[in-house]
Structure 1
């Protein structure tokens, strides 16, 4: 079974512009691509769970595509609230297999189905689990084969108020749709830091940004701020475990760090 890497919230600006006047998202994405290419074993596919770019312009998508062109693994994308309809022109192979405007699409990677759900609302920062989207998802879940679901807006509250105001609304409909349907996990973006919860009995994970992190501040009325923390990606590993499918998610930090160092000497004794 495959290894799926999840990038999210890359927020590319045209011509190497700095996001929020501080974040060199171009440099961070280039480092993430190099990191993914160096992984052993290599990912079988890379998912970008929204906010590829900052303003949804054609120039930004052109820069994003240039930056991810060295990736050795196939790339599949879904939009976030910073994206625009131009995402489907930038990635026509995904646009061509969508079930319909504002719905989603499905791809198979090594026997694993990736369900790519559009959660965006035009002109709004929040997402929405509409009846039409959940009907498409329910139909996909009726088909055979293990599946991971990806969408941009997390369908749960994190405690970070300024982000929770813009999460996936009407999430109870999505929770009811996935409950008891054998979905392995749900991967999201939007919050720029790894957070986990259970939605409809399904483990749900927000991926970190490979650039800036939303400040972990759960105080009521906390300001909307960001910080520079070690950038990372998620690695979703699906394997057979005693005849059953097992899903494990690893947090893989991007950058050069000391190590690896051995725990044991050549004679087997502890260092």
Structure 2
């Protein structure tokens, strides 16, 4: 990869809790996010920008968002936020007034959602809000889909990544598929086929790395910076979590396309060794 390659980092599902708390009385999610941020700061080349694809905090409270702000502060590149089902969009907007991407759109039908377009790492990044207020599952209404269609039409030749919280495909993890994207999946697939510049659909929510072809492109989920969901593909498999290694993804333009890498956070033996 060329030395000047730009890199877009994707963090997801940190589920930050208030200081002094543990998630489910077991997981120190703030400490794990701090380790992920420290890992991002060691990347070579350095990250051009960071996007956090939802479930920024666990309960959507002001003290959690204040804690999140402290944890992300070491990042010197642009950091862009989008909500997941655990977030409160109103609280996010109050906690991060300097984040222009959270500003409501003028269109009244779209103003409840976090929808934005940014450019970084030689790519166009489009955030597509899938949140249903007060619910765990996601949806895409006709207004959000029409906005995405218009946004993609503005730059038909620029390699583009669409970021969502809920993945637009079933994963086989039954309890998570039950709170997946319940509306708009087929319409989204049809829309993406009309815009071949979309190199990747990047998602969170699943707390696991999963890849599937979707809508003529590649859709993927990434690990959580905190806990992971147990890989159980049985019918009726229970909702369960485990302390698997946390991680994140990075996406970089290469040879006119996008290459994505998963990064594991933590030390597992020597940092580097050579044959």
Give the TM-score of the pair, scaled to structure 1: 0.92
1:96 aligns with 2:91: no
Instruction: Report if the CA contact (8 A) 2:53-2:165 is conserved.
Output: yes
Q: Residues 259-270 of structure 1 correspond to what in structure 2 (within 5 A)?
A: 259-263=271-275
Gaps of 5+ in 1: 264-271
Give the TM-score of the pair, scaled to structure 2: 0.91
Aligned to 1:267: none
Gaps of 5+ in 2: none
Give 1:217 shift: 0.3
Aligned to 2:42: 38
Q: What is the rounded CA distance, in whole Å, between the counterparts of 1:16 and 1:121 in structure 2?
A: 29
Across the aligned residues of Structure 1 and Structure 2, the Cα RMSD in angstroms comes to 1.3
Q: The residue matched to 1:33 in structure 2 has which SS?
A: helix
Aligned to 2:205: 190
1:227 aligns with 2:239: no
Q: Deviations for 1:113-166, whole angstroms, at most 9, x for unmatched residues?
A: 110111000111000011111100000110122211101001000000100011
Picking from 120, 124, 141, the partner of 2:135 is 124
Q: The residue matched to 2:234 in structure 1 has which SS?
A: coil
Q: What is the rounded CA distance, in whole Å, between the counterparts of 1:153 and 1:260 in structure 2?
A: 35
Instruction: Report if the CA contact (8 A) 2:8-2:47 is conserved.
Output: yes
Structure whose alpha-carbon radius of gyration is higher: 1
Give 1:225 shift: 0.5
Instruction: Report if the CA contact (8 A) 2:174-2:237 is conserved.
Output: yes
Instruction: Report if the CA contact (8 A) 1:53-1:83 is conserved.
Output: yes
Aligned to 2:170: 157
Q: Deviations for 1:244-265, whole angstroms, at most 9, x for unmatched residues?
A: x1111101111123241113xx
Aligned to 2:228: 213
Aligned to 1:255: 266
Q: What is the rounded CA distance, in whole Å, between the counterparts of 1:110 and 1:24 in structure 2?
A: 32
Give 1:53 shift: 0.2
Instruction: Report if the CA contact (8 A) 1:3-1:237 is conserved.
Output: yes
Give 1:26 shift: 0.9
Q: What is the rounded CA distance, in whole Å, between the counterparts of 2:163 and 2:198 in structure 1?
A: 11
Aligned to 2:193: 179
